[in-house]
A and B are shown apart, each in its own frame.
Chain A
Amino acid sequence: MKVIKSLVIVFTIHVLLANNVVSAKQWQGENNNTLSKSEFTLAKHCPPSFELTPQGVCRLLTQYQFYTSVQNKGLGGTQTNLPPHRDGFTPAQIDLGRYLFFDPALSKDGSISCASCHQPDKGFSDNLDRSIGITGEKIARSAPTLWNVAFVDKFFWDARAKSLEEQALGPLYDPLEMGNTPEKLLATIRSTPTYVKLFAQAYPDMQEIGLEQIYTSLTAFQTSLISLNSRYDRYAHGYHQALTKDEIAGLNVFRSFVARCAECHQPPLFTNNEIAVIGSPEPEGRKLDIGAEKTYNAPKLKGAFKVPTLRNITQSGPYMHSGRYKDLREAVKFYNDGRGNSIPEGEEMLIHWHISEPNLTDDELDLIVTFLGTLTDESLTPRIPQQVPSGLPVIDEKYQERSKAARTQQKLNHNNENAITQSGE
């Protein structure tokens, strides 16, 4: 089913709202019960885990900064530093990004927002095998989590973007995702008086709203999504009672050189920010997704995808680029079934050397899943705005219905099939 809402309707809503501006909650609940007709205002304080510097920008603070690591890469053991990260945005820029992130006005027809596929209560993913875009059809790949995206330097499953700003262009302008165009997006934002005012607050030196400020704000918000206070982290910081005996046993299987999970999903981020060919299968009826082969024009990387973080992994199923596995036990079993167990007949793939034939017992597989549960920390989930400057519903009921329908029908669309490597995430 196609949902078509014209921009006219969007603009109409904007005009209506211009005369009826509502307040929004600020970061940490200040004025949170005041849904009066006061103005939208942007936060003056940084999100938790960030410190406001004398320069007026937010700097991330984590206990991992107390450790060293080889070449400052921050990958490996329990007490290693984190890799370099993005921060240094102002509280206003971050908060503006929050409104934009939840605002369906960013899509072509005002029907979906970034948060439609990156829902805070679903690990900033969407519980779908492959996400549903503006056409109501499934796109090529599943929505990755946004937790700890500040530490990531490659974006999309196929690593084709090098920054969050660059990444934003993908979903915003992909016809199967949010379907917008730069011109339309800019026109929408510029014609929404509340946004004009908020952008002026967030970018006081700016003459006129440009796309750059939109991307910057979205980036600023996403880099504030920090999850580093799980029970695993307490263990890592030296409180070994934070994990149960089984969870520690699971950690030891996870990092053993038999399972080798931790070789790519390296603590403390539980990713090494690399791409790898693991040969995870497509859903039935879908052709092979070549992944990063296209990005790098490198046949040796056929079927290579980014190594995703495992932080909050219990919240963001189903798993793999194709959402092929509905739960973690299935995903873990895939690795235990041996190298290349799902390579389609006739295909050649250079499977990553760490994918072996570990022959783990069922108990050990269970222990790994148990351990993965200790990586859950959503304590710094940002507040979902009750209203956004466009006046559109923050979580669109129809979008949800469509997702549900698509889930049950498992509808495949041929256009979508052809777009498999053009779209994604």
Chain B
Amino acid sequence: MSSGKIIGAILVAGAFAGGMYFGSIQNSTPVITSSTGGASYEGGYDKSADADALQGVNKGAAAERTVVGQVHVVNDGETIMDAVIAAKPGDTIQVMPGTYHETVYVDKDDIRIIGVIKEGKRPTLDGEGILNDAFLYSGNNFVIENFVITKYKGNGIMGQAGNNFEIRNNIIVDTGVYGIFPQLGKNGIVEFNIISGIEDAAIYVGMSDNIHVSHNEVFASVAGIEIENSRHAIVENNNVYNNTGGILAFITPGLPIKTTFDVIIRNNFILNNNHKNFGAPGSTVGGIPAGTGILIMAADDVVVENNIISGNKTAGILITDHGNAPNVTIDPESDPSPDGVKLLNNLMYNNGYDTIDEVKALMLTEFKRGNPDIVRVGKSTDSCIINRHQYVSVGVNSWKECEFTNTDSIDTYLLDEPVPPRIIDPSERGKVVYNGVCAGCHTYTGRMIGPPIQIIQALYMDNPQGISDFIASPTKKREDYPEMPPQNYLDEETRLAVAKYLLTLTR
């Protein structure tokens, strides 16, 4: 299947909804805006309105440790997973060089897995083409560094709703669908990784907030770096080359989180992304025309600044709505248009030299010749551009001049302090667990499956510890009631909280 055709085929059909006009003033004095001065973009993120954002001075994304946990050392021949099972929140796992064949899952908070590099040798996870994912984490404050990951069927490193993550210094080659895929997380860093040979995105940030992707080298994959259904993300200082598409900012329809906005793509090298599309049939990226430097689909308030975008044969920057991407489904709850796109200074050179027929046809509608750096199709409101005379472009004539020239005032969208864990008042925990678990079998006065609370209160009076001990390993006490199942899955603190709460009930 010619993937280029998929987006391409409909570009012609999608006329420019946003007022293109013929005979634009080609020969008047160009508006030249210096990017060395001028106003700075303020961004769309109001930290003061974010309940998760606290004032602080943390430099990373994961919570700083005030208490040093245990260090677990994993040697070649052992398994990392055994160390994870043994580890408690706050612990660090050091993995020595060697080859490991396993899927490591981390459903705990505050775990750091650090590969130990000795004289250039790193610990390698090899999925041998059989295993699904290398690392799966769901805990908060997860840090992973210094691994080589290869030959997994699924992802190299996948995050599932963990907040405050740091993924750095990993080398991921020839591994499945995504190289690094934090999903549904808030406040995270992906930096200094080298990734290649991925059939979807080398780095895919999905449904996440407050993200920093920097200093990565991604190549020979279908998509280099993808920011999808995420907000407040900065992608900077990356080297992105020889992918099918370089850097993507998408809204993918049909997901529970419906927006992408406030994305800054700056200071990246985006070079020669002409790799044949080898994406899976039906995947969103399977429709990207080879030779796309930056692709903005339906995402809002995306700023593109100071990138070197060169040698991408279809276009340097391609901007489209959902309607012009025929293999993308629709979502009645997602806005399909890329609005508020801001194109600041970029070095664009030698793009669009072998573009698809549909782009050529589009250019004819504006009487443009040459090789396109910037192509926009579909509706887009409130978008702007500076120094448009520098580029061969189609679809941006009507865009206004941006009122700012740089993003210097925004260093990062990371939070000053990590997303805090919810502080739970013990009495609140006792109440919740009592109502959620105990009340299924006990009422205050009546007989249900277990005896009434009143009777339990009479028996234990001032002895919550007694209740806590009993529910951890109950014994049969009453002939006419079934034996209570152990509640030892509740930790000691929770059992005691429940017991105390139970003793305070009055009705």
Q: Provided the pairs A61-B432, A238-B491 are in contact, do residues A253 and B132 lie with their beta carbons within 8 angstroms? A: yes
* A274-B488 Cα distance, complex, nearest whole Å: 36
**Closest B residue, CB atoms, query A297:** B332
Check B178 against A257 for contact (C-beta < 8 Å): yes
Q: Is A28 at the interface (CB under 8 A from chain B)?
A: yes
Check B329 against A350 for contact (C-beta < 8 Å): yes
Say which residue of B284, B330, B446 sits within 8 Å of A32 (CB atoms): B446
Q: Is A73 at the interface (CB under 8 A from chain B)?
A: yes
Check B161 against A77 for contact (C-beta < 8 Å): yes
Q: Provided the pairs A70-B185, A274-B256 are in contact, do residues A257 and B419 lie with their beta carbons within 8 angstroms? A: no
Check A77 against B440 for contact (C-beta < 8 Å): no
Check B161 against A70 for contact (C-beta < 8 Å): yes
Q: Provided the pairs A68-B422, A274-B255 are in contact, do residues A351 and B282 lie with their beta carbons within 8 angstroms? A: yes
Check B254 against A63 for contact (C-beta < 8 Å): no
Chain B positions within 8 Å of A45 at CB level: 443-444
Chain A positions within 8 Å of B422 at CB level: 66-68
Q: Provided the pairs A29-B446, A70-B207 are in contact, do residues A77 and B132 lie with their beta carbons within 8 angstroms? A: no
Q: Is A389 at the interface (CB under 8 A from chain B)?
A: no
Chain B positions within 8 Å of A298 at CB level: 330, 332
Check B107 against A78 for contact (C-beta < 8 Å): yes
Chain A positions within 8 Å of B283 at CB level: 353, 356
Check B440 against A79 for contact (C-beta < 8 Å): no
Chain A 279-313, CB within 8 Å of chain B: the 1/0 string? 00000000000000000101011000000000000
Looking at B13-21, B150-158, B306-314, the stretch in contact with chain A turns out to be: B150-158
* A45-B453 Cα distance, complex, nearest whole Å: 14
Say which residue of B108, B327, B435 sits within 8 Å of A48 (CB atoms): B435
Chain A positions within 8 Å of B443 at CB level: 28-30, 45
* A29-B440 Cα distance, complex, nearest whole Å: 11
Tell me the minimal C-beta distance from A384 to chain B in angstroms: 14
Chain B 90-126, CB within 8 Å of chain A: the 1/0 string? 0000000000000101011100000000000000000
Tell me the minimal C-beta distance from A51 to chain B in angstroms: 6
Looking at A9-17, A103-111, A117-125, A239-247, the stretch in contact with chain B turns out to be: A239-247
Q: Is A187 at the interface (CB under 8 A from chain B)?
A: no
How many of A's residues come within 8 Å of B, CB to CB? 72
Q: Provided the pairs A51-B435, A78-B138 are in contact, do residues A30 and B424 lie with their beta carbons within 8 angstroms? A: no
* A237-B155 Cα distance, complex, nearest whole Å: 25
A to B contact number (C-beta, < 8 Å): 189
Chain B positions within 8 Å of A240 at CB level: 85, 107
Say which residue of A66, A234, A350, A380 sits within 8 Å of B429 (CB atoms): A66
Say which residue of A32, A66, A80, A301 sits within 8 Å of B424 (CB atoms): A66
Check A301 against B330 for contact (C-beta < 8 Å): yes
Check A257 against B177 for contact (C-beta < 8 Å): yes
Chain B 45-66, CB within 8 Å of chain A: the 1/0 string? 0000000100000000000000
Say which residue of B162, B183, B332, B436 sits within 8 Å of A296 (CB atoms): B332
Q: Provided the pairs A68-B419, A228-B436, A277-B329 are in contact, do residues A255 and B136 lie with their beta carbons within 8 angstroms? A: yes
Q: Is A53 at the interface (CB under 8 A from chain B)?
A: no
Which chain B residues in 244-286 approach chain A with CB under 8 Å? 252, 254-257, 280-284
* A373-B22 Cα distance, complex, nearest whole Å: 64
Which chain A residues in 350-366 approach chain B with CB under 8 Å? 350-353, 355-359
Check A257 against B133 for contact (C-beta < 8 Å): yes
Say which residue of B103, B163, B419 sits within 8 Å of A256 (CB atoms): B103
Say which residue of A65, A76, A296, A380 sits within 8 Å of B440 (CB atoms): A380
Chain B positions within 8 Å of A62 at CB level: 432, 436
* A80-B444 Cα distance, complex, nearest whole Å: 31
Q: Is B489 at the interface (CB under 8 A from chain A)?
A: yes
Tell me the minimal C-beta distance from A131 to chain B in angstroms: 27
Q: Is B214 at the interface (CB under 8 A from chain A)?
A: no
Tell me the minimal C-beta distance from B195 to chain A in angstroms: 15
* A234-B177 Cα distance, complex, nearest whole Å: 31
Q: Provided the pairs A61-B431, A76-B161 are in contact, do residues A48 and B105 lie with their beta carbons within 8 angstroms? A: no
Tell me the minimal C-beta distance from A162 to chain B in angstroms: 11
* A339-B487 Cα distance, complex, nearest whole Å: 43
* A215-B338 Cα distance, complex, nearest whole Å: 41
Q: Is A75 at the interface (CB under 8 A from chain B)?
A: yes
**Closest B residue, CB atoms, query A275:** B254
Chain A positions within 8 Å of B503 at CB level: none
Chain A positions within 8 Å of B207 at CB level: 70, 73, 75-76
* A65-B431 Cα distance, complex, nearest whole Å: 12
Check A76 against B332 for contact (C-beta < 8 Å): no
**Closest B residue, CB atoms, query A47:** B439
Chain B 156-180, CB within 8 Å of chain A: the 1/0 string? 0011111100000000000011100
Q: Is A50 at the interface (CB under 8 A from chain B)?
A: yes
Which chain A residues in 336-352 approach chain B with CB under 8 Å? 339, 350-352
Check A61 against B160 for contact (C-beta < 8 Å): no
* A80-B207 Cα distance, complex, nearest whole Å: 14
Q: Is B2 at the interface (CB under 8 A from chain A)?
A: no
Q: Provided the pairs A257-B155, A272-B255, A274-B255 are in contact, do residues A61 and B436 lie with their beta carbons within 8 angstroms? A: yes
Show 30 A/B contacts (Cβ-Cβ < 8 Å), sorted by A.
A29-B447, A51-B431, A61-B431, A63-B432, A66-B422, A66-B424, A70-B163, A70-B186, A70-B207, A73-B257, A76-B183, A76-B207, A77-B159, A237-B489, A238-B108, A239-B489, A240-B107, A242-B489, A248-B105, A256-B154, A257-B181, A258-B132, A259-B132, A275-B254, A301-B329, A350-B329, A352-B282, A352-B329, A355-B282, A356-B283
Which residues of A are in contact with B by a Cβ distance under 8 Å?
A: 26, 28-32, 45, 48-51, 61-63, 65-71, 73, 75-80, 83, 228-229, 234-242, 248, 252-253, 255-259, 262, 266, 272-277, 296, 298, 300-301, 339, 350-353, 355-359, 379-380
